[in-house]
Structure 1
Amino acid sequence: MTTSSPNVIPYARQWLDEDDVAAVCEVLRSAWMTTGPKVAEFERALADWVGAKEAVALSSGTAAVHAALYALGIGPGDEVIAPGMTFVATTNAIVFQGGIPVFADVTPGSLLLDPGKIEALITPRTRALIAVDYTGHPCDYDALRDIAQRHDVALVADACHALGGQYKGRHVGTLADVNIFSFHPAKHLCTGEGGMVTTQNPEYAERMRRFRNHGIATDFRQRAEQGTWYYEMVDLGYNYRLTDLQCALGISQLRKLPQWLRRRREIARRYDEGFRDLPEISPLTVSPEVSHAYHLYVILLNLDRGQLDRGRVYKALRDEGIGVNVHYIPVHLHPFYRQRFGTGPGLCPVAEAAYERMLTVPLFPAMTEEEIDRVQAAITHVVQLHHRSEASAS
């Protein structure tokens, strides 16, 4: 992640050190650049880290969602239920497969997929549920698993925000039939672009490995080891491979993940304490049953307090060098979905109301104590100033 000004604190930023650079340089000097030994090594390392049997590396988190839905056999006309509060990639992958996204609302406090809103949306064409671990907070997987099993549909975890999180002592990455991670620079570890799917099902893993390699049953390294040139395309796939360069970086970054998670949680704790007595904002709630991974720290502006305006607060904070952002515009409100599937306002009222109030606050492991203090002071000053001025104007 980069920013246009050195004085702006971005909402997220990667952290690279000399060990990361050395790991990439080692691959640059080797015989392999892509689909080499580092791919399998990264897959095994991440699978072991989360406790999964299988892990499949892909070129992005989006490719990972796509491959996961392909492995589950999602096809034309199949319905897949997903929350309205997510990034478009989650549901775009459904459309890539010819499926129909069905949007479910979220819970008011955490903005996670609401299990109580799912049953009414299930039809004979429903094939899967996608849970999104929004901001890094794991969903209620016991409730979601119960629904999935009763209706004989697959459970997918879009855990792109939640690497390192836990639900009732169980690691994210083992909680659903397929579990998706992203290694974008804003995420917990960085490979430039990249993604991974973890699963306990070897058949799913094999399908995804073919899918990422044009549908071909063997990759170049496997053929080189077997001393053969011959290959067969058995499915229609994509070029979704992750390179050895990127996997070497991922392996190096994974070693530092525990300390980075501790730092993310410490920053979140500081924010919780700093905003506790600020009535103009409300942080999202955290269940005592989870260990939050804190990819994002999202606050909700209490708009009823003097008609506090999100647009003005956003601009004022950006003017002060605080790189706040908004995650996300509910997917069903985007023009593509409104035109293609007839979605629109009122479909997910909780998600829509939250969107109008939300701001994402800077949080990344490399933040200094001075930057944390600066963010807290700026938010406190801006929301109180706008609360007073707008209340006086009314």
Structure 2
Amino acid sequence: MTEHRNIPISLPSTGEEEWLALKEPLLSGWLTQGPKVAAFEADFAKRHGVKHAVATTSCTTSLHLILTALDIGPGDEVIVPAFTWVSTANVVLYCGATPIFADVDPKTYNLAIDQVANKITERTKAILPVHLFGRCADMDALAELAPNIPLVEDAACAAGAAYKGRAAGSLGIAGAFSFHPRKSITTGEGGMVTTNDDALADRMRIIRNHGASISEEQRHLGPKPYILPEFNLLGFNYRMTDLQGAVGLVQLQKLDGLLEERRQWAEYYSRELASIKWLRTPQVTEEYSHGWQAYVCFVDETVAPRPRNSMMEFLQSKGVSTRPGTHAVHLLGYYKDRFGLAPEDFPGARDCDRFTLALPLHNQMTASDYRYVVAALKELE
């Protein structure tokens, strides 16, 4: 390796089309939630096989919106994975409810079904499986385990992913997506709720807009400008802007092509790294159409030439950005202190926190970039 590179862990795939898409809302003057958001919602719902899509400011607010619309509050419990981004647990606390952690399977990074079974009580009002890194959770097993408990999908990483031929976001009572720049498609910040439940969708649209009984479009475009909305629900300002909606429309048109490119390079990684015995690459079966938001490996430090953190420092010195997969939430100070949690309470999540390694995988990388990453990893052997 004679040539030094700087390969970021992720970069959004944006360009001239997204730039031009901003022109129409800027010239029209309709910058807040409006026709571009509505069009983005309609196209996103169609792509993910659901009746309704409700755009929001982030996946975090999408999750909060769903739980609020389900009337989850004080005294209620919501089961969440112990290995996930912190907002999955935070939104439960926002509602005044209690997050109940369940361990994950280190081979899939998703909820371990047998661990969920031990956490269900009469106070369990929802289960919040995460489709981590773009691989859907085992939703059929969860539905069989808890047929009367709503399943709320944290699909932050899973735009375009599928499970047994069904799109992420259509597998539970509702799903929440992220359009953060580290995701496969982006609107800068932004999120989306998907659902097939008509009443839930209506309720979420109202809560998203301060609890207003009529939308901004109805107020400004209707024949009676003197009408103000009634407020019968406590709501939030979780509306997406039309600038974001315009960018989202363009990004969504690219989604399938972006996912196919990521899939091909994920297969390349798996093929080229198979000879590294201390590195377990992502496991994918035919039941899953992976969204490949990230390519996350597991380092077996019992046989590895050096600890994971030392590997990450070496790769960084070579210009290859890596990251741990995500957090073990029960190890984070706030949750550890508030709920009296210890590392050994969730050993699967603890080990994923310590030993996962995310490699660069995004649509701005070249073939030579991928070869460079593989060569850098093989230098560690």
Q: Same fold (TM over 0.5)?
A: yes
Amino acid corresponding to residue 119 of structure 1 in structure 2:
A
Structure 2 residue 170 is matched with structure 1 residue 174: yes
Aligned to 1:351: 349
- Deviations along 1:15-38, whole A, 9 cap, x unmatched? 112111111122111131012111
Which residues in structure 2 correspond to 1:36-51 (within 5 Å)?
36-51=34-49
* C-alpha RMSD over aligned residues: 1.3
Structure 2 residue runs of 5 or longer lacking an equivalent are: none
Shift of 1:7: 4.3
Aligned to 2:187: 191
Rounded Cα–Cα distance in structure 2 between residues aligned with 1:356 and 1:184: 25
Give the 3-state SS of the residue equivalent to 2:128 in structure 1.
Answer: strand
Give the 3-state SS of the residue equivalent to 1:255 in structure 2.
Answer: helix
Conserved? CA contact 2:134–2:292, under 8 Å? yes
Rounded Cα–Cα distance in structure 2 between residues aligned with 1:192 and 1:353: 32
Aligned to 1:112: 110
Conserved? CA contact 2:325–2:352, under 8 Å? no
Shift of 1:280: 2.3
Give the 3-state SS of the residue equivalent to 2:129 in structure 1.
Answer: strand
Rounded Cα–Cα distance in structure 1 between residues aligned with 2:58 and 2:257: 24
Aligned to 2:71: 73
Give the 3-state SS of the residue equivalent to 1:261 in structure 2.
Answer: helix
Give the 3-state SS of the residue equivalent to 1:327 in structure 2.
Answer: coil
Structure 2 residue 319 is matched with structure 1 residue 318: no
Which residues in structure 2 correspond to 1:77-116 (within 5 Å)?
77-116=75-114
Which residues in structure 2 correspond to 1:283-298 (within 5 Å)?
283-298=281-296
Give the 3-state SS of the residue equivalent to 1:118 in structure 2.
Answer: helix
Aligned to 1:330: 328
Structure 1 residue runs of 5 or longer lacking an equivalent are: 1-5, 385-394
Structure 2 residue 24 is matched with structure 1 residue 26: yes
Conserved? CA contact 2:328–2:352, under 8 Å? no
Which residues in structure 2 correspond to 1:1-394 (within 5 Å)?
7-149=5-147, 152-226=148-222, 227-228=224-225, 229-305=227-303, 308-381=306-379, 383-384=380-381
Aligned to 1:390: none
Rounded Cα–Cα distance in structure 2 between residues aligned with 1:231 and 1:374: 58
Aligned to 1:391: none
Q: In 2 relative to 1, CA 311–66 (structure 1 residues): closer, same or farther, beyond 3 Å?
A: same
Amino acid corresponding to residue 192 of structure 1 in structure 2:
G
Shift of 1:290: 0.7
In percent, how many aligned pairs have the same letter?
Answer: 39
Question: Normalising by structure 2, what TM-score?
Answer: 0.96
Amino acid corresponding to residue 366 of structure 2 in structure 1:
T
Amino acid corresponding to residue 292 of structure 1 in structure 2:
H
Rounded Cα–Cα distance in structure 2 between residues aligned with 1:61 and 1:303: 34
More deviation, 351-360/217-226:
217-226
Amino acid corresponding to residue 152 of structure 2 in structure 1:
V
Conserved? CA contact 1:301–1:308, under 8 Å? no
Shift of 1:219: 2.3
Q: In 2 relative to 1, CA 240–306 (structure 1 residues): closer, same or farther, beyond 3 Å?
A: closer
Amino acid corresponding to residue 286 of structure 1 in structure 2:
V
Give the 3-state SS of the residue equivalent to 1:346 in structure 2.
Answer: helix
Give the 3-state SS of the residue equivalent to 2:335 in structure 1.
Answer: helix
Rounded Cα–Cα distance in structure 2 between residues aligned with 1:111 and 1:255: 29
- Deviations along 1:171-199, whole A, 9 cap, x unmatched? 11211101110000111111010000100
Conserved? CA contact 2:187–2:248, under 8 Å? yes
Any runs of at least 4 consecutive aligned residues in structure 1 with deviations exceeding 3 A, and if so which? Answer: none
Amino acid corresponding to residue 55 of structure 2 in structure 1:
A
Rounded Cα–Cα distance in structure 1 between residues aligned with 2:305 and 2:207: 51
Rounded Cα–Cα distance in structure 2 between residues aligned with 1:277 and 1:342: 41
Conserved? CA contact 1:43–1:55, under 8 Å? yes
Shift of 1:122: 0.7
- Deviations along 1:256-300, whole A, 9 cap, x unmatched? 111100001011001001100111211121122111110010111
Amino acid corresponding to residue 44 of structure 2 in structure 1:
L
Rounded Cα–Cα distance in structure 2 between residues aligned with 1:344 and 1:73: 31
Q: In 2 relative to 1, CA 295–275 (structure 1 residues): closer, same or farther, beyond 3 Å?
A: same
Amino acid corresponding to residue 31 of structure 1 in structure 2:
G
Give the 3-state SS of the residue equivalent to 1:248 in structure 2.
Answer: helix
Shift of 1:206: 1.4
Conserved? CA contact 1:302–1:308, under 8 Å? no
More deviation, 263-272/113-122:
113-122
Amino acid corresponding to residue 308 of structure 2 in structure 1:
R
**How many matched pairs?**
376
Shift of 1:230: 1.2
Shift of 1:306: 5.1
Rounded Cα–Cα distance in structure 1 between residues aligned with 2:132 and 2:62: 17
Give the 3-state SS of the residue equivalent to 1:233 in structure 2.
Answer: coil
- Deviations along 1:151-174, whole A, 9 cap, x unmatched? x21101111111111111111121
Amino acid corresponding to residue 200 of structure 1 in structure 2:
N
Conserved? CA contact 1:75–1:99, under 8 Å? yes
